[in-house]
Amino acid sequence: MKTFTYRTADDVSGGLEPGATFLAGGTNLVDLMKLGVATPDVLVDVTRLGLDQIGDLPGGGLRIGAGVRNSDLAADHRVRRDYPVLSQALLAGASGQLRNMATTAGNLLQRTRCRYFMDATMPCNKHAPGSGCPAREGDHRNLAILGASPSCVATHPSDMAVALAALDAEVRISGPAGERTVPVTELHRLPGDAPERDTVLEHGELITAVDLPPLDLAARSAYRKVRDRASYAFAVGSVAAALQVTDGTVRDVRLAFGAVAHKPWRAHRAEEALRGRPATRESFRAAADAELAAAEPLRDNAFKVTLIRNLVGSVLEGLS
C-alpha cells in the first residue's frame, strides 16, 4: 500500500486536493489500496460528519445519510415496512461484519469485482486506461450483457444500488461548486470509452445522503439475488421489483437488474411494456424480453439473459 496522509473532514462541503479521496467504511477502498488498484495520496475521513442518520422527508419518504451503515439501514423499521426491497437487497449483500462497516455512499461507490480490475498486474482499461480489456476474450462469465463497450465489460457489484434504482432514489451531492441532486439511475455511467470513470461525480464531490421518495407500491417490493454459493458471494444476477396490481392488471411497476451492466440497470422498457397488461408470468417474461432485447452477451454469459428473464417472472409473480 502506498503511503498517504490521513485527515478527518471538517464539514460536508467536500472539496479535495488532487490525489485525495474520501474514506468511510473502507470495505472496498482499503481492499483496493492493499491490492495497489487504488493509490490515494490523501485519505479524508468522512465518518465524523454526522451523516449517519435516517430521517423522514417532509413530503413523505426517507433521507438516508451517506454514512448510515448497511446493517442499520437494513434493520430500520421504516425501510422494512415501506421499502422492503431495499432491506432485502442490503441483507443479500456481503456479510454481517461487512454490513456493519459499509456505508450507504460507499456501497454505491464500490468498484467492479471484475477479476482483471482487481489485479494490478493485469491489463485493465478501468485501472490502467489504455492497457486493454482481457475480459472480453478471457473470463467474463459474470460480466455485463447490457450497455458494455469495447473497452470495458465490467459490472457494478452492488445489491443495494439495484434496489435504490428501482425506488427512484435521488443522490444528494455536495461539492466545491455547491450542492446538486442526481437520480441514482444517473449516478453511474456506462463505460463507453472512459471506463475509468464509474460515476458522474466530479473530484471533490461528496455524497451526503440518498433520498427515497414516497412510493406506495414499494410496500410490495422484493429483491432476489442469484449467486454461486448460498451466501457471501457477489450476484451473478439479481432483480429488484415493486408491483401494484388491480383486478389482475398491472397498474404500476418498478424493475431494476443487478450484475448485468456497468450500473444498476433500471428496466424502463420492461416497465412500459407491463403497465396496463395482465399480471401473468407470460407478460412478465415478455416485458423482461423487451428490456433484454438490447442484450449483447459475450461467449460465456448468455445464460444471464435467461436468468434475468426467469427472475423477473418469478419475482413479479411472487408480488402479484
Partner 1 sequence: MTATTERAVGQPIGRIEGPDKVRGAARYAAEFQVGDDLAYAWVVQSPVARGTLRTVVVDPLVEPDDVLAVLWHGNAPRLGPADDPELAVLQSDRISYRGQAVALVVARTLEAARRAAASLQLEIDEEPHDCLLRVDHPSAYEPEKVNPGFPASSALGDVDAALAGAPVTVDVTYSTPALHNSPMEPHATTALWVNDDLVLYDSNQHPPGVAAAVGALFDLPADRVHVITEHVGGGFGSKGTARPNAVLAAMAAKVTGRPVRLALPRQALFSMVGHRTPTIQRVRLGASADGRLTAIDHKAWGQSSRLFEFAEQTAVTTRHMYAAPNRRTGHRLVRLDMPTPRWMRAPGEAPGMVALECAMDELAVALEIDPIELRVRNEPAVEPESGVPFSSRHYLECLRRGAERFGWHDRDSRPRQRREGDWWIGTGVAGATYPAMVQPSTARASRLPSGDYEVSIAATDLGTGARTILTQIAADALEVPVAQVRVRIGDSTLPMASVAGGSSGSASWGWAVTGACRALRSSSASSATFDSSELVAQQEKDGKHAFGAHFAEVRVDAVTGEVRVTRLFGMYAAGRILNPRTARSQFRGGMIMGMGMALHEESVLDPAMGAWVNHDFAEYHIPAHADLESVEAEWLDEQDDQLNPMGSKGIGEIGIVGSPAAILNAVWHATGVRIRDLPARLDKILPYL
Partner 2 sequence: MDLVVNGTEHSVELDPRTTLLDALRDHLGLTGAKKGCDHGQCGACTVLLDGRRVNSCLILTVTLSESEITTIEGVDHPVQEKFLEHDGFQCGYCTPGQICSAVGMLDEAAKGWPSAVGDPELTDAEIRERMSGNLCRCGAYPNMVPAIREAAGR
- Per CB under 8 A, the list member of 45, 196, 211, 289 interacting with partner 2 is 45
d(Cα 54, Cα 212) in Å, to the nearest integer?
11
d(Cα 64, Cα 51) in Å, to the nearest integer?
8
CB of 118 to partner 2, least distance (A): 9
Binder of residue 275, out of partner 1, partner 2, none (CB less than 5 to 8 A by kind):
none
**Residues 6 or more apart whose Cβ sits within 8 Å of residue 141:** 300, 301
4 is an interface residue for partner 2 by CB under 8 A: yes
CB of 16 to partner 1, least distance (A): 23
Binder of residue 100, out of partner 2, partner 1, none (CB less than 5 to 8 A by kind):
partner 2
- Per CB under 8 A, the list member of 12, 16, 23, 166 interacting with partner 2 is 23
121 is an interface residue for partner 2 by CB under 8 A: no
Q: Which three cell numbers stand for residue 275?
A: 403497465
Binders of partner 2 among residues 52 to 81 (CB under 8 A) are 71, 74-75, 80
Query: Cell 491490492 maps to which residue?
Result: 35
Backbone angles phi, psi at 72, to 5 degrees: -65, -40
Q: Please state the separation of Cα 191 from the chain's center in Å.
A: 15
Query: Residue 50 half-sphere exposure, CB side, CA atoms within 13 Å?
Result: 5
Nearer to partner 1, 168 or 291 (CB): 291
Nearer to partner 2, 225 or 309 (CB): 225
Query: Cell 468522512 maps to which residue?
Result: 46
Region at 192 (left for phi over 0; alpha for psi -120 to 50; beta for the rest): left
Q: Which three cell numbers stand for residue 265?
A: 440497470
- Per CB under 8 A, the list member of 12, 49, 68, 92 interacting with partner 2 is 92
Contact set with partner 2 (CB under 8 A) = 1, 3-6, 23, 26-27, 30-31, 34-35, 43, 45, 47, 71, 74-75, 80, 87-88, 91-92, 94-98, 100-101, 230-232
